[in-house]
Amino acid sequence: MLLLRRPLESAHYASRVYVDRLRSADITPSMSRTGNPYDNAKMESFYKTLKTEEVDLQEYVDLDDARRHIDCCIADLYNRRRLHSSLGYVPPAEFAARYTAAQT
């Protein structure tokens, strides 16, 4: 007997109720194309990093506390200090600054 350890995560995001709710807020749902697991690879990688380097290591007091910590993690650790191989092993903020300087 095959037992699923986790529910099909994408099923929730494709449900009619969820999609209708997004559309009522003028939000266009975005999902990977059928048979192409690479469409969302960059975001999946970001979320994995955020979970392992921030969320799984914290106990937040409440939602506001979680937002503050996660915002700080993204702004400071992820964008200013963490080296990204796809950017030549520099943080995104430094990459952007170099790009802007090269354009002027």
Residue-wise pLDDT for 21-69, tens only, equals 888 988 877 766 666 767 677 778 888 989 999 999 999 999 999 999 9
Domain that holds residue 80: 40-104
Domain count of the fold of the chain: 1
- Whole-angstrom distance, CA of residue 38 vs CA of residue 9: 16
Query: Does residue 52 belong to any structural domain of this protein?
Result: yes
CA distances from 59 to 30, 63, 66 (A): 30, 11, 8
* pTM for the whole structure: 0.58
* pLDDT cut 70: percent of the chain above it: 78
Query: Does residue 50 belong to any structural domain of this protein?
Result: yes
